[in-house]
Structure 1
């Protein structure tokens, strides 16, 4: 039950990220927004660690792996997302980033011998992704060269997130999730800061209510809590099954839009949501047959 509650909470946290990032980008350059976001998250998680005082024994001998994952998942992946969203619509970004389960399935097949890529998982991923496409059908567009580059970069961010998910499942699932989340932010923050200094104009950073509130939400809810929950669940769940949260988050975003912004839920959106839910149901089942039985 705890895992289910955390899965739902994770979907809620990440589902609110896409519109909040868009709001933040109105008054902050992409890499500076990401840098400040992760700096605040690092401080917040550090405060929790000082209070809980977990043992660092699980990290011993794994610093190299943690630095690699932190650089890729926090630095490269989130840096790419923030940059790419400057040039594509939220719908396009959501669809592209929802390809994570495909990459997780691919890397699981290549790297995880104990977890099988089953027929139902593949069917569920395809059906769920089709639902995401249906949901955002009217908001998928690429106009101009920069939009194409934005789409490519967000897809690379999705592939990077898929790889790091499987890498953590294989090599770091025994590490305390709180310490894993916190220590990964060190290389991620450094890499984002370098990108901000090189590519962004700090004078474009405007300190206003939108910047403060959106950054706090992204830092505390969409990063600190969300990544702790993700790594906690990843130590206990199949990597492909957990990656299905990427299909659920757009539904959360739609629901929040209906609840808070009085946005309508059309028949097309309803059909897309139904496809996503059916896909998640299929992909989360664990039958005896599989496409490939991983060698032990």
Structure 2
């Protein structure tokens, strides 16, 4: 009993702190590595390791043509566009600010479910959406942010990434995929990694050897692969089996706080009073959405 409680605590720490720190790690890495190349290497290495672990644990790696196609679609929505373009946008937007924008994902999921499935919004959801939209307006309307070079484009692209990830969540909830979550994740990462590598070559990005990177970027890459890609995702799926989806979904409003603090402390990113107020309103809105009676368990998928 004590061991299971300890595992739950460790798992929550993983999805709160590790996933929250990936914004900072990507921001550090993208300073020296081309964004699409960075994302491709991260997912190829993580995908290979996950498949190796799955094989050692005796999981079947068989996949049908339909499952392969769905894995490719999910990999594109989540990792190629949802993460790859997001990392590119970090060249123009602070990591903490980007994390706050990403926390609007539950809002996008609600709108998509309304459009696609015609699901009615509960009262708490409506309050949450209103608060979220107001918080987002306060966040992106700051002159100091929107006047910096490339920031408007970066903000717009991040919001399209959130939309891509949100639609991917809705898609995956209905798609035919391998039953084992570990195998599913491995295929998605490998397919996405190959697409990202091809895209990197297409856009003529510079490829650099890991040996030529600074120590801090090498460390960031290792942490992104092992902890951000494998440990945290495994913890996420473990929690979905042992606690309620509502509790797991709290990562949607804890990650941005972690990212905001780390960005301010480590990278000396600007933390304005308006950003603090906006983040409080936005995250309160996300709380209202994720604490409603029935929470779609797909809204918590992360980068």
TM-score using structure 2 length: 0.75
Alignment of 1:130-209 (within 5 A): 130=134, 140-144=145-149, 146-172=150-176, 175-199=179-203, 200-203=205-208, 206-209=212-215
Q: What is the CA–CA distance in structure 2 between the aligned matches of 1:132 and 1:107, rounded to whole Å?
A: 18
Unaligned runs of 5+ in 2: 295-303
- Is 1:221 matched up with 2:227? yes
Aligned length: 286
Which deviates more, 208-217 or 52-61?
A: 52-61
* SS of residue matched to 2:146: coil
* SS of residue matched to 2:91: coil
Residues 227-281 of structure 1: CA deviation (Å, up to 9, x unaligned): 4444566789998986663332111224556887899999777756654564344
Contact 1:66 1:183 in 2 (8 A): yes
Change in 2 beyond 3 A, CA 1:26/1:5:
same
- Is 1:26 matched up with 2:31? yes
Q: Which residue of 1 aligns with 2:297?
A: none
Alignment of 1:1-296 (within 5 A): 6=11, 9-56=14-61, 61-112=66-117, 117-128=121-132, 130=134, 140-144=145-149, 146-172=150-176, 175-199=179-203, 200-203=205-208, 206-230=212-236, 245-256=251-262, 275=281, 278-287=284-293
1:184 deviation in Å? 0.6
Change in 2 beyond 3 A, CA 1:182/1:279:
same
* SS of residue matched to 1:140: helix
What do you get for the CA RMSD once the two structures are aligned?
A: 3.9
Residues 13-51 of structure 1: CA deviation (Å, up to 9, x unaligned): 221011111111122111121111112211321232122
Change in 2 beyond 3 A, CA 1:233/1:72:
farther
